[in-house]
Chain A
Amino acid sequence: MMDKPTNNRAWFFVLPVLVLVLFSSIVPVMTVVNYSLQDSMGVNNFFWNGDSWFRDLLNPDTEIGARFADALLRTIAFSFTALAVEVPLGIAIALCLPRRGWSVGISLVIMALPMLIPWNVVGTMWQIFARQDIGLFGAALTGIGLPYNVTQGSVSAWVTIVVIDVWHWTPLVILLSYAGLRAIPDAFYQAARIDGASRWAVFVNIELPKLQKVLVIAVLLRFMQTFMIYTEPVVVTGGGPGSATTFLSIDLVKIAIGQVDVGSAAAMSLVYYIIILTACWIFFTVMTQIDRRGDR
């Protein structure tokens, strides 16, 4: 009964996928691993270097280590700032959207529009928008007397990048939350009215718990995207002023392609990769925990 038919020809059918994965993932990753363990004295002249790239990278006293630690902190700070604004704002807007009628479609399309614009276009738009001389945003802020200057003020640069990300990606949180809210049966709201619950009590006891699952997904997606942010700061600020908006991805590209410091860059991208993998694993665990608690 338990005998499965074995046929080695089956491997043949998996082969194309294996080849694809080999070329798209395994070979590049192993190349990076290879670079991270070797040093070169010139073109294709590599020798074994052990773990010293990693040691340097993770030691904040070295030059590369200090750079990495700064960029990492900056990136984490950016992710948290963006999430702290986008998630509450997204939920708040989703709560305000109409629930039925002709206005639903229009609102959702308007909300979703920013997500349809490619990153580099968003960057270019904001680069112009934020200019003090001809940009509406920059000129307006300067006009009302705020010390705003994207290219020279590090606070201005930071705020601008956060605002761009909020404008570009809060719609994702809105759409997910809206879908979550729509899935709550009317009976819950009716029961809450019968029970005399206040608006706040309805939010805390009905809406937020029912949104938990979509919010975990929203936070996961937004975390991954903000943690690898690259295009907008490169286009708008070029990572500056100084290194104020040089996030991990930007630093990585500078080291790898700007300085052709392949060993450091390889070690850095592997550490970067492990950080993201760990974060995703934590999110995944939290998510499955929520599911399991629901079943018990």
Chain B
Amino acid sequence: MTRIALDGIAHSYVRHPRTDKDYALRPLHHVWEQGMAYALLGPSGCGKTTLLNIISGLIIPSEGRLLFGDRDVTRLPTEQRNIAQVFQFPVIYDTMTVAENLAFPLRNRKMPKALITARVAEIAAMLELTPDLNRRARGLTADAKQKISLGRGLVRSDVSAVLFDEPLTVIDPALKWELRSKLKAVHRALDLLMIYVTHDQTEALTFADRVVVMNEGQAVQIGTPEELFERPDHTFVGYFIGSPGMNFLPARVEGNRAYVGGNTIALGAAYPELTDAVQIGVRPDFTTLTDGPGLTVQVRRIDDFGRKRLAHVTLDGLPLVATVPPGWAGDGSQARVGFDAPHVLVYRNDVRVEGVAA
């Protein structure tokens, strides 16, 4: 049973970093708990792969300590870390059969033959590779090759963690779903710590117990999918998670009221006096067109997604996305919009401000 702790881990590819921009990964404290599934979510170049490679030892961080349990492994080479990693593009050993590929990590660690055979059979069954076990790996499709890579990552039962670096990029969409649920099942069955890097929010939110949202080398929020959706800590999380992203409006906040231009919006909590750039944020799911009382907006267009309809509207010239309720019978260019007060959050300089329950 190991937990992996990051103690101020930071990395820069520049020799003498001066500004925050020089860091691929800014100082990060976090504990990855045994048996949990984490996702590292963020746009390309946000430092997620760097963080993953630091944990596996392919990169030695420029600052901080990395602990496996109580052991400091910061400078330990990959081979001595007991960690498995699956890469974005399939890596297979051309000259070997599928079974030999799966057995390779075990054979290198001098496991007994009987154990290797049993493990390989078990993992092959999980990933549905059993019929291909005796085929040469080089002639297989990209899908099958990536399954072999996944299998090599999962075949060792003693690992501290299994790291996935966007492993489903090359897999076709139909199979993607299947493999993702398979990974989830494997996770439940094996009680492993898994860290899964992706830039696809659906992938992250469906796979992980906890999601780490990263941007520009910083972990902006770590939380459950619900937390990220309901209470984004940072405007970036609001934009990045959910489609479409959160609505943000520049506002002035007094007590439990927010003033946007000439409009007043009720808040779910009371706030102290705030200076600097203050915004309120509310998800389109909690912004609803209504026939009852509400703020008057101009309707620009309505997108029909079949199961739901979204309206693109402007409030005093500020763009907003709102849900169109099933019974809504409005037409023309004007409508009224209502906000669900508990879900209207307040941000100061892009960071969420905690209110006091009113």
A residues with CB within 8 A of B: 185, 187-188, 190-191, 193-198, 201, 204-206, 209-210, 293-296
Closest to A212 in B: B94
8 Å CB contact of B105 from A195, A198, A206, A294? A195
Task: From the candidates A193, A195, A205, A206, name the one contacting B58 in the complex (CB within 8 A).
Answer: A193
Which residues of chain A come closer than 8 Å to B58, judged between CB atoms?
190, 193
Q: What B residues does A209 contact at CB under 8 A?
A: 93-95
Taking a contact as CB atoms under 8 Å apart, the answer to whether B109 and A196 are in contact is yes
Give Cα distance in the complex from A190 to B152, angstroms.
13
Are B87 and A193 neighbours in the complex by a CB distance under 8 Å? no
**How distant is the Cα of A293 from the Cα of B57 in the complex, in angstroms?**
35
Q: State whether A295 touches B108 (Cβ < 8 A).
A: no
How far, in whole Å, are A118 and B230 apart by their CA atoms in the complex?
76
Q: Are B85 and A190 in contact (CB under 8 A)?
A: yes
B232 to chain A, nearest CB (A): 33
- The answer to whether B108 touches A188 (Cβ under 8 A) is no
List 20 A-B residue pairs with CB atoms under 8 Å apart, sorted by A's residue number: A187-B89, A190-B53, A190-B78, A190-B87, A191-B85, A191-B87, A191-B149, A191-B152, A193-B57, A193-B58, A193-B77, A193-B79, A194-B78, A194-B83, A195-B104, A196-B109, A197-B104, A197-B108, A209-B93, A295-B139
Contacting residues, chain A, for B78 (C-beta < 8 A)? 190, 193-194
Q: Chain B's interface: helix, strand, loop or mixed, by majority? A: mixed
B interface residue numbers (CB < 8 A to A): 53, 56-58, 77-79, 83-85, 87-89, 91, 93-96, 104-105, 108-109, 136, 138-139, 149, 152-153
B94 adjacent to A195 (CB under 8 Å) = no
A185 interface neighbour in B84, B85, B89, B104, Cβ under 8 Å: B89
The reply to whether B108 and A195 form a contact with Cβ atoms under 8 Å apart is yes
Residue of A193, A194, A196, A295 most packed against chain B (CB within 10 A): A194
| A180 and B85 alpha carbons, distance in the complex (Å) | 25
- A187-B87 CB under 8 A given contacts A193-B78, A196-B109, A198-B108: yes
**A95 CA to B85 CA, complexed, in Å:** 26
Which one, B79, B93, B105, B109, contacts A205 given CB within 8 A? B93
CB within 8 Å for A296 and B108 given contacts A185-B89, A206-B93, A209-B94:
no
DSSP class of A's interface residues: helix, strand, loop or mixed?
A: helix
Nearest chain B CB to A226 CB, angstrom units: 28
Known: A187-B88, A190-B87, A193-B58. A205 touches B108 (CB 8 A): no
Are A205 and B89 in contact (CB-based, < 8 A)? no
Among B79, B89, B96, contact of A196 (Cβ-Cβ < 8 Å) = B79
> 17 extra interchain contacts, Cβ-Cβ under 8 A, other than A188-B91, A193-B58, A195-B152?
A187-B87, A187-B88, A190-B58, A191-B85, A191-B87, A191-B152, A193-B57, A193-B78, A194-B84, A194-B105, A195-B108, A201-B108, A205-B94, A205-B104, A210-B94, A293-B136, A293-B138
In angstroms, how far is the closest chain A Cβ from the Cβ of B41? 21
Least distance between B345 CB and chain A CB atoms (Å): 41
A294: chain B residues at CB < 8 Å are 138-139
Complex Cα gap A198–B78 (Å): 12
**Docked complex Cα distance between A193 and B109 (Å):** 12
Report the separation of the CA atoms of residues A293 and B53 in the bound assembly, to the nearest whole angstrom.
34
CB-CB nearest 5 A-B residue pairs:
A196-B108, A191-B91, A195-B105, A296-B139, A209-B94
* Residue of chain B at shortest CB distance from A204: B95
Query: Chain A residues near B88 (CB, 8 Å)?
Result: 187
Q: Which residues does chain A contribute within 8 Å of B89, judged by CB atoms?
A: 185, 187
Distance, CA A210 to CA B138, complexed state (A): 11
CB distance from B355 to the nearest CB of A (A): 46
- Contact partner of A194 among B56, B96, B138, CB < 8 A? B56
**A295 nearest CB neighbor, chain B only:** B139
Among the interface residues A195, A204, A206, which one has the most CB atoms of the partner chain B within 10 A? A195
Task: Output the least CB separation between B73 and chain A (Å).
Answer: 14
Task: Write out the residue numbers on chain B whose beta carbons fall within 8 Å of the beta carbon of A198.
Answer: 108
A191 and B92 CA atoms in complex are apart in Å by: 9
Complex Cα distance, B57 from A270, in Å, reads: 62
A residues within 8 A CB of B139?
A: 293-296
Interface centre among B78, B87, B88, B91, by most chain A C-beta atoms within 10 angstroms, is: B91
* Cα of A188 to Cα of B85 in the assembled complex, Å: 12
Q: Is the CB of A194 within 8 A of B85?
A: yes
Residues of A within 8 A of B79 (CB): 193, 196
Give the nearest-CB partner of B110 in chain A.
Answer: A196
- For the complex, what is the distance from the CA of A198 to the CA of B104, rounded to whole Å? 11
Q: Provide the bound-state CA to CA distance between A209 and B153, in Å.
A: 22
Question: What residues of chain A lie closer than 8 Å to B108, measured between beta carbons?
Answer: 195-198, 201
Q: Is the CB of B149 within 8 A of A205?
A: no
Task: Collect the chain B residues with CB atoms within 8 Å of residue A193's CB.
Answer: 57-58, 77-79
